[in-house]
Structure 1
């Protein structure tokens, strides 16, 4: 469709306290914790860039300035490295084009829906992406690129989903599926953490969204939901039926880096994939397991 607006903006909700990783996150944002040698936020931004997204909107809180500084030019570091003849290539992906990074504050922790609503003035009247950096999505192409390609086909609203064993559905938001066509499934409803025997499917919503700007008006008037917070799932559910709504089954691997176990798994998995260390990491893991 020629009149469909492209996805140019992405919102990254990064205001959380990261209490599950204390004391590591006492002075460092959890999004700056590194998987091998790149912070979580870098993986999410790189995924957005690969999908053609130009403007990154960070919804931050107090003590989160390190996230913004990571994407700044580090003059002292680069000058010193240059004088010593060191390669600056490792810093390339951490430099933002001027004006590409915008931050807004979420002063009160009132939930994911509220965090997204805080970015309403910057999103304006454009469709936009949401990436939750805790969810590390590894695929070729990346998850958001897969979603943008699907959006170019069907428009409307999209969520990324993954299939999990049925006994695990009560830990996640799941979709009530309609007609399926390849990786695309129509969404008839969204259910947050259903009991296993009441779950409409085993397709869980996995931290990537493309939403129409009307969701901001829904969030504006929405009361608190589960946990006393303003829930994004509730707002999306209200848009089903008014606008096209689809799920994209992600081809790739998801690592829940909001948990310690998922963080360790992601570190090991990505280290094993690296040409510069994969063999050594495998040998190291085998030595440790043999003890």
Structure 2
């Protein structure tokens, strides 16, 4: 447990190494995170959140085969987002989202840090990342972004068992990956946004060392969080305010495009 009060959370890890096969043909020649929605790459929406949350360091964890595309993107982004310092780290094998986040350990060091996944654009009055950081600071614990969904679709997501402790704020006691509806502890599902205490990175590093050479052996963030819960670590959930646009499928991209253009919001 991170006992010292949190002062600043200024590092954001963006795992963007996915090949985006569900987004073919858009991702045949373009990394998933650079697919455009309403005229901007998905990654831009994460960087806007980062800028608004006063993030200083952004770590892109990429697939080595896409290095040239991301290096070009970073050169452009240094002009568009001058307050952000960019770091690129390689994930040589697709060994899971937890393994991807662990590649940022050298930059994160022994500090709290944030994680966002580009699949989920969250639009609201208060930016999602800034809200997560505020709650993590207040609770002095890790915080996961949550969304309440209809029970009939909970099997698509990671689902939490939680106790409400404040307005939109929960203390999490259980995480279940893609449960069938009858086994789901709630209809509060995990969205791609987190603020983690240093203990989570320590657990990730230990778990990476324990990975076997088996092809199907992967490290999921959910596994590490479940381990933390088992050891009585404080993990909270914040139910998002606003709209989540799931951009993990072609249909989701089309819906997000329509919603953002209709909203008239300028980015």
Fold in common (TM above 0.5): yes
Larger-Rg structure: 1
Cα deviation for residue 189 of structure 1 reads 1.1
**How many aligned residue pairs are there?**
257
Distance in 1, matches of 2:118 and 2:171, equals 25
Pick one of 221, 232, 251 that aligns with 2:221: 232
Where does 1:84-123 land on structure 2 (aligned, <5 Å)? 94-97=80-83, 100-123=85-108
1:43 aligns with 2:29: no
Match of 1:54 in 2: 56
Contact 1:27 1:63 in 2 (8 A): no
Once superposed, what is the RMSD of the aligned Cα atoms? 2.2
Aligned to 1:13: 15
SS at 1:12's partner residue? strand
Q: Distance in 1 between matches of 2:162 and 2:5?
A: 28
Structure 1 runs, 4 residues or longer, greater than 3 Å off: none
Deviation at 1:67, TM superposition (A): 2.8
Q: Which moved more, 1:9-18 or 1:150-159?
A: 150-159
Matched, 1:158 2:143: yes
> Could you report, residue by residue, the CA deviation over 1:199-241 in whole angstroms, capped at 9, with x for unpaired residues?
110000000000012212212333569x642110010111125
Return the TM-score normalized by structure 1.
0.82
Instruction: Give the CA deviation at 1:245.
Output: 1.1
- Structure 2: any 5+ residue segments left out of the alignment? none
Aligned counterparts, 1:193-204, within 5 A:
193-204=178-189
**Is residue 66 of structure 2 the alignment partner of residue 63 of structure 1?**
yes
User: CA separation in 1, counterparts of 2:251 and 2:86?
Assistant: 31
Is the CA contact 1:128–1:213 (under 8 Å) kept in the aligned structure 2? yes
Q: In structure 1, the residue corresponding to 2:75 is in which secondary structure?
A: coil
Aligned counterpart in structure 2 of residue 271 of structure 1, from 240, 247, 261: 261
In structure 2, how many angstroms separate the alpha carbons of the residues matched to 1:131 and 1:72?
A: 21
Q: Distance in 2 between matches of 1:217 and 1:50?
A: 28
Cα pair distance change 1:238/1:37, threshold 3 Å? same
Alignment match, 1:286: none
Query: Displacement of 1:2 after TM fit?
Result: 8.4
